[in-house]
Structure 1
Amino acid sequence: MRTLFLAAALLSGTAASAQLRPDQAAFRGLYKELIETNTTVSAGSCTLAAERMATRLKAAGFGDADIKLFNGPMDRPQDGGLVATLAGKDAKSKAILLLAHIDVVEAKRADWERDPFTLIEEGGWFYGRGTSDDKAQAAIFTDTLIRLKAAGKPLKRTLKLALTCGEESPAVFNGAEWLVKEHKDWIDAEFALNEGGIGVSDDKGNPLKLAFQAGEKVYQDFRLEARNPGGHSSQPRPDNAIYQLTAGLNRLAATEFPVQFTDASRAYFTAMASQMGGEVGAAMLAMLANPADAAANAIVSRDPNWHSMLRTTCVATRLDAGHANNALAQRASANINCRMFPGDSLEKVRGQIIAAVADPGLMLITDAEVSPTPPPPPLTPAIYDPAVALAKKHFPGVPLLPTMVTGATDGRFLSAGGIPTYGVPGMVADKTLNNVHGLNERISVTNLYTTRDYLFDLINAYAAN
């Protein structure tokens, strides 16, 4: 029965593929090649994926001088990527950068219903690791440069494409960060387009809302630690490292960081207030007028997503204490994971945590990997208006809202390096987030092709002005 089911699914996918436009069929082949190139940190190679995309670019007419292939560090040459350039007509206009990561989260074949590294089209969905995050956008951006090269009509602005590794495992190596630090000239641009503009779909992948991301929170870990001489557990002492730590954590848990707005989140909550109406809509308007309105904050922050969008959040995620069951702990520590509001400095958040735990005997140690803390990019009409206009064409009747994501992407490295980075719309996710990072990751076939057309037009609009 399983064999018959899979055969029927494959035949269904073949039938759907036969109905594609020629340009869509070419895109599907590129997308399939990316999905079926394993780029996990354990067993894959981003370098191989980059080389395969370079081969496609060269076949479209890009010269060797237009493509820069690079490897990862000496101990991980497989963590490479590429930068490709499509020259524009106006040398005085700064370039636009298209950024996408080609590495993916681990995927064990034994856990998946389908081979995670085989592109399978079934029931209106593409299944496979990276189908959503982020090889869909990597394929669209690569395909866009190929289509523009084939058209033979240079746009006003130069377009640059960066396919990088390490977004999913930045502690190992991060290609976007490396490019900013070591080869800024390769990718320098007036602004960059990236992942992060993820809208909302129903359970069939039909878009309900689109999102334009202008700002993302910053990931940062701290360690809160109590130390003590310890001793024999038969003779407890009043100063106990575990109790001291937990008391500080309880005070941190009871602390709310202040409400803040970016251009994007202010526009988002303004639009949502109109959509929601009632008590919630009124509370949103009250907070926009006065971010310190505690009663309005209590109403809006019932939603965990809105709560996180409005402020820096810091939460204990791991505990480590003691060295023996029959001994008083000499050390007790907790990992504090913060998602810092765009523009909040490390020093500011450190100070807020120290004030919250209110115990000078507790040490707050900054994680060795310090994230950059760039301000959010400006949501200007030149950036936002074309996205809105084209959304009406490609996604009629679907609202587009600006947003600030509560996670983090490689855009933080570009923004910190002076390249404002935006998460472009088009992609949508259902309530499971399309199983991104989980089992049986998928993306709506129809939405992928529509987003491809939308982004092609949007990139053209930006590059023409």
Structure 2
Amino acid sequence: MKRHVLAAIGTLAVAGPALAQAPAPAATPGQTAFRTLYKEFVETDTSVSTGSCTALAGKIAGHLKAAGFADAQITLFTDPQFPLDGGLVAVLPGSDPKAKPMLLLGHLDVVNAKREDWTRDPYAFIEENGYFYGRGTSDMKVIDAIWVDTLMRFRTEGYKPKRSIKLALTCGEESGARLNGAEWLSKNKADLIAAEFAINEGGGGDTDGKGKLVTQSMQVGEKSNRSYELTATNPGGHSSIPIDDNAIYELSDALEKVRALKFPIRFNATTKAFFAKAGAARGDDLGKAMIRLSADPSDKAAEATVIADRTFNSMLRTTCVATMLTGGHAVNALPQRATATINCRIAPGEDGDTTKAALEKAIADPKIAVTMVGRLRPVAVTPPLTPQIMGPAEKLVARYFPGVPLIPTMSTGATDATYLAPVGIPTYGVPGPWGDPDGNGAHGLNERHAVKSAYVARDFLYDLVKAYADGR
């Protein structure tokens, strides 16, 4: 799920249109059909605890066939060990055999939602006060529905793209508890999804929370996610005769050193462009510091100003933070073991091993074991910031959202793009749909998406896919 850029940019001096909460005109027949599709996606539970991505993939296949896709152009896939975690790949053939395909990527699964915690049924698609409510309305079934709607429109309109357009809708992005479909495809069906590039979630627009769209972003790269366990062990003993050699104290000392650890600034083409462009848009002292730092990463005065914003700090460097802690086995015994989990978000150019080495060096205590734990995604690879990708998006943003800048950004979170890079598919998070500063309840309670955003993004992304497919 994308990180909202507005929180990082602050108040931009942009006279963007008041889009997010303005009353929408009556829906067109095409919008009504799209709404029906979007509703079906949201009302099909695809959470890992109670849902089935396989069921939704089957429904999508039926819609594509009804629009004219042949059976041979649709592949439903499942791993026999995980029958609920299936997905779909569809192909709209291109007219030029020399033009490499493009890929539309999306995840069908959603974060678990409990009815007793929500104001509304999380798996009911409800329209209220200019928003669609329901689990997945923002993350990311709005884009899933747009991808499917776009291919159906292309087919029924008789559109012949220059390059083939592939669609991969998978399961497991949110939890990966059983199976990650993008990873499964890259390992088992790489030829099926082979493409020159892919477009995905991760970009998008941000409002000021009052109805004004202030920025659009293209996600170009993301950080990698690794977790480490710090473990201190000790023979222990009776608490009535304590000694300084205590596993909890040793772990506490190590955590103090982790808190003090500051990784070096590591710019790439995306973040350098972000800080320069976003800084220029601000026009305040922080903006000036952003510009200076992008030009000279050794400018300590500029760095001190910029890193006061925690989002900016995270974009600049690898970060590691303690997230879980356990220790001891009895109230009247010296601890035999104490452990802490450290979650690191690793900047491109570094990896799990270099980060582990940095932690060990900072802790400088051979009695503290540092072990990599948890789910291991591939190390993220930043795709190239090319005119082929940015050019069409910039033109369409200028047309659809006059006065709103398109800014390349690096996500501090993670998407399924990490699984496509190893098979040679650079992946970008597209602009278009927008959200509010509070994140619209994605991953939380009462998730929502602005009605007008869904309808405008439907047309914007239709045009963007066509521009990429025709090489414009």
TM-score, normalising length: structure 2? 0.93
User: In the alignment, is residue 260 of structure 1 matched against residue 266 of structure 2?
Assistant: yes
What secondary structure is seen at the aligned counterpart in 2 of 1:28?
A: helix
8 Å contact from structure 2 (residues 48, 177) kept in 1: no
**Partners of 2:209 and 2:182 in 1: how far apart?**
33
Q: Partners of 2:51 and 2:432 in 1: how far apart?
A: 28
| Change over 3 Å in CA distance of 1:147–1:73 after alignment to 2 | same
User: How many angstroms does 1:265 deviate by?
Assistant: 1.2
User: Does the 8 Å contact 1:268/1:402 carry over to 2?
Assistant: yes
Choose the corresponding residue for 1:408, options 383, 408, 414. Answer: 414
Alignment partners' CA distance in 1, 2:78 and 2:33: 27
Q: Does 2:18 match 1:50?
A: no
Aligned residue in 1 for 2:324? 318
**Greater alpha carbon shift after TM alignment, 236-245 vs 197-206:** 197-206
Instruction: Give the Cα separation in 2 of the matches to 1:450 and 1:17.
Output: 10
Structure 1 residues 374 and 439 mapped into 2: Cα distance closer, same or farther (>3 Å)? Answer: closer
Q: Does 1:160 align with 2:171?
A: no
Match of 1:59 in 2: 66
Q: Which amino acid aligns with 1:37?
A: T
- Counting only pairs closer than 5 Å after superposition, residues 51-200 of structure 1 correspond to structure 2 as 51-74=58-81, 76-200=82-206
- Give the superposition deviation at 1:152: 1.1
1:355 matched residue in structure 2: 361
* 1:33 aligned residue (5, 25, 40): 40
Residue in structure 1 matched with residue 207 of structure 2 by the alignment: 201
CA deviation string 1:259-314 (max 9, x = no partner) = 11121111111112212234212321221222132221111011111111111110
> Relative to 1, partners in 2 of residues 1:202 and 1:276: Cα closer, same or farther, differing over 3 Å?
closer
- Aligned position for 1:461: 467
Measure, in 1, the Cα distance between the counterparts of 2:210 and 2:74.
Answer: 38
1:23 matched to 2:30: yes
Q: What do residues 75-132 of structure 1 show as CA deviations (whole Å, max 9, x unaligned)?
A: x301111000000011121110000111111111122121211111111100111000
Aligned residues: 449
- 2:404 and 2:173 map into 1 onto residues whose CA distance is 30
Q: How far does residue 187 in structure 1 lie from its aligned partner after superposition?
A: 0.6
Q: Matches of 1:248 and 1:124 in 2, distance apart?
A: 50
* Cα distance in structure 2, aligned partners of 1:374 and 1:91: 30
Q: Deviations over 1:12-58 (max 9, x none)?
A: xxxx9992122111111111110110111111110010000100000
**The residue matched to 1:71 in structure 2 has which SS?**
strand
Q: 1: distance between equivalents of 2:335 and 2:273? A: 50
How is 1:323-342 mapped onto 2 (pairs within 5 angstroms)? 323-342=329-348
CA deviation string 1:212-240 (max 9, x = no partner): 00001111111011111111111112221
For 1:202, the aligned partner's letter is: D
CA distance in 2, matches of 1:307, 1:129: 31
Give the aligned residue type for 1:51.
Answer: G
**CA shift in 2, pair 1:306/1:17, >3 Å:** closer
Distance of 2:283 and 2:426 partners within structure 1? 33
The one-letter amino acid of 1:52's match is K
Q: Distance in 2 between matches of 1:18 and 1:208?
A: 22
Q: What SS does the aligned partner of 2:151 have?
A: helix
**Does structure 2 conserve the Cα–Cα contact (< 8 Å) formed by 1:270 and 1:284?**
yes
Contact 1:204 1:444 in 2 (8 A): no
CA distance in 2: counterparts of 1:287 and 1:17, whole angstroms: 42
Q: Any idea what the Cα deviations from partners look like across 1:407-435, whole Å, max 9, x if unmatched?
A: 11111111233210100001222121011
Q: CA deviation at 1:354?
A: 1.1
Q: CA contact under 8 A between 2:222 and 2:380: conserved in structure 1?
A: no
Match of 1:7 in 2: none
Q: For 1:114-160, what per-residue CA distance to the aligned partner results, in whole angstroms no more than 9, with x for missing partners?
A: 12111111111001110000100000001111111112131110000
Q: Tell me the distance in 2 between the aligned counterparts of 1:172 and 1:239.
A: 41
Distance 1:202 1:273, change over 3 A: closer
Matching residue's letter, 1:375: V
Change in 2 beyond 3 A, CA 1:73/1:203: farther
Contact 2:24 2:452 in 1 (8 A): no
In 2 relative to 1, CA 292–416 (structure 1 residues): closer, same or farther, beyond 3 Å? farther
Q: Which residue of 1 aligns with 2:375?
A: 369
* 2:221/2:380 contact within 8 Å kept: no
What's the offset of the Cα at 1:322? 0.7
Residue 143 of structure 2 aligns to a residue in which SS?
helix
Structure 2 Cα separation of the partners of residues 40 and 370 of structure 1: 21
- Separation (CA, whole Å) in 2 of partners of 1:205 and 1:88: 39
Q: CA deviation at 1:206?
A: 4.0
Does the CA-based 8 Å contact 1:236-1:328 persist in structure 2? yes
Q: Which residue does 1:6 correspond to in 2?
A: none
Task: Name structure 1 gaps, 5 residues minimum.
Answer: 1-15
1:436 corresponds, among 402, 420, 442, to 442
TM-align CA RMSD: 1.4
Residue 11 of structure 1 is matched in structure 2 by none
Taking the aligned partners of 2:459 and 2:381, their CA distance within structure 1 comes to: 31
What residue ranges of structure 2 are gaps of 5+ in the alignment?
A: 1-22
**After the TM superposition, which of the residue ranges 179-188 and 203-212 deviates more from structure 2?**
203-212
Conservation of the 8 A alpha-carbon contact between 1:38 and 1:117: yes
Cα distance, 1:173 vs structure 2: 1.3
TM-score, structure 1 normalization: 0.94
Range with greater deviation from structure 2 (199-208 or 118-127): 199-208
Structure 2: how far apart are the matches of 1:51 and 1:371?
28
- Give the equivalent residue in structure 2 for 1:246: 252
Of 451, 458, 464, the residue aligned with 1:452 is: 458
Cα-to-partner distance string for 1:330-378 (whole Å, 9 max, x where unaligned): 1111000011112322111111111111212211101143221132001
